[in-house]
Chains A and B, each alone.
Chain A
C-alpha cells in the first residue's frame, strides 16, 4: 500500500475513534418520543399551554352533535396506544389495562354508553384529522399550542412531571453534570427509548419522559435510574378532533364528567392505584 493510502486510512481511523470517544464521553444526546413535549423541552421551545376555557354550548340535545350520535350508537370509541405502561398496556388475553383505560371506562360509564378501543399510531392521534375512526383520545396527551390547533381539549385530568433518566452504565448522578447544550434524538414513542437502551444501543444514555413512564420502565427492568428532580410538569387532557363532526356538547359533557371525577375523588383514587400511591391529579404547582 502506498504511503498516501496508508495515511488516509490512518486519518479515517483516528477520526472514527475520536467520534466514538466523543459520543461515549459527552452525554449530550437525549432520547425522547416523537411529537412529545420532551423533544420541545430539549430543543428549548417548550410550549405547554393550558386548555382553552370551555363554554356552555349553544345547543342542547343537538342530534348532529357527537354526543347524541354516541348515545344513539350506545358506544364510544376511544383511541389508546397500548405501549405505554402504566397508562395503557396489553394483557395476554387481548384486553387493555391501565390508568388511561380506567379513566376512559369511567367516562363511558358516566355517559351511559359502552366502550370500544382503537389502537392507531400515536402520531396519528396527535395530528388530528382522525377521519371519524374514533371519537375521543384518552391517552395522557399534553396540551400544547400546536395540538390546540387541531384538537379540542377538556380540562386536565392529571398532570405529569417530566423526569430525566440516565443509563446506569453512564455514571452520571446529577443534572449539573450534563452539558448545557443538549440535542435530542427521537424514536416513535417514549417507551422505545428505554427499550433501545436495554437492547444495548449506545447513541444516547439520557432519556426524558414522564415520571410514571420512567418509573414503569425501571420497574420492568430497564437498566436506568432517575436523574434529579422533574424538569417540568405538564397538564394532560382528553382530546377531540376539531375536524370531525360537531362536538361542542360532547366536549362540554366530558369536561363536566372530568370535573365530577376530580371532585368525588375518583381520579385521585385511580392515580394512587396506578402511580404507586402518588396523586398526580392536582395542579402542577410544585
Chain B
C-alpha cells in the first residue's frame, strides 16, 4: 500500500490515544467493580459460613421489613421538599439587609442546628400535646425532618446564593431590574444549579436520618426490623436486612444524583 497518505497522521494518533484512554478507563472500572464484588462476596460467604444465619427467617420476614422502605422514602421525599422551601426562604432572609428578618432567620438556624434531631422529633410528638397541639406520628416526623434539614440547607443555599458572581447582580441592576426580580430570575436559578449536589447529599442523608422517626412509632424500616428481630430472637438477620435496604436505597439515590448532576452540567460549555 503506497502513496497518498502524506497527509499528517495526527487524526489517527489522536484516535489511538483516545482509544488507549478508553481502554484504560474500562479496565479501571472492571477492576473497581471486581473489587466490590469480591469484598461483598467474601462478606456474604463469611456470614453464611458461620452457620448462625437463619435464611428461613429472612425469607419469611423479609417482605414485612421491606414494606417499611416505601414509608421511609415517602418521609424523605416530602421532608426534603419542605426543607428546600424553608431553606430558600431562610437563605434569602439571612442575607436580608433588614436586621429583624435576618435575626429571625439566624435564630431559627441556630436553634434547630443546635438541638439533636431526635430531641426535635420527640418534642413535636410528645411535648406539644402538653400545649394542646396533637400531631400524628407521620406528620410529626415530616415536620421535624423538614425543620431540621431546612436549617442546615439554609446555610447551603446562602453559600450558593453568595457564590453567584456579583457581576451578574450588578449587570442586572444596571439594566434596571428590581431586587426581587434579580433574585427570582438571575440569582436563584444559578444558585440552585450550584446547590443541587448538596441537596442530593442531604436527601441521601435524610433517608437514613428518617430511621429516628421509629421512636414515635412510625412503622417504617427500622421499627419493623427491631420489632421483628426482638420478637423472633433474630436481631442480627433483621437489622442486617434493614441495613442492606438502607444501603441499596442510598446507592440508587446517589446514582440518580450523579446522573442529574451530569445532565445539569451539560449546559456548561
Contact = CB atoms under 8 A, between A and B. Distances in A.
Interface of A: 82-83, 85, 89-90, 92-94, 118-121, 129, 131-133, 191-192, 195, 198-199, 220-222
Interface residues of B, number: 18
B228 interface: yes
Contact of B129 (A92, A131, A192): A131
Nearest to A243: B129
Interface string B213-255: 0000101000000011011010100000000000000000000
B61 A83 contact: no
B227 A82 contact: yes
A132 B217 contact: no
Contacts of B129: 129, 131
Contacts, number: 42
- Give the most central of B61, B63, B67, B231: most A CB within 10 Å: B231
Interface of B: 60-61, 63-64, 67, 129-130, 134, 136-137, 217, 219, 227-228, 230-231, 233, 235
A152 to B, nearest CB: 19
Given A83-B227, A121-B217, A220 B233 contact: yes
Main DSSP-derived SS at the A contact region: loop
Given A82-B231, A195-B233, A132 B134 contact: yes
A94 B67 contact: yes
Nearest to B136: A133
A107 to B, nearest CB: 22
Q: Which 4 A-B pairs have the closest CB atoms?
A: A131-B129, A131-B134, A120-B217, A92-B60
12 contacts: A83-B230, A85-B231, A89-B231, A92-B60, A94-B67, A119-B219, A133-B137, A191-B230, A192-B230, A195-B233, A220-B233, A221-B233
Given A120-B217, A121-B217, A90 B134 contact: no
A183 B235 CA distance: 28
Contacts of A82: 227, 231
Contacts of A192: 230
Contacts of B134: 131-133
Contacts of B217: 118-121
Contacts of B231: 82-83, 85, 89-90, 191
A129 B131 CA distance: 12
A192 B235 CA distance: 12
Contacts of B136: 133
Contacts of A220: 233
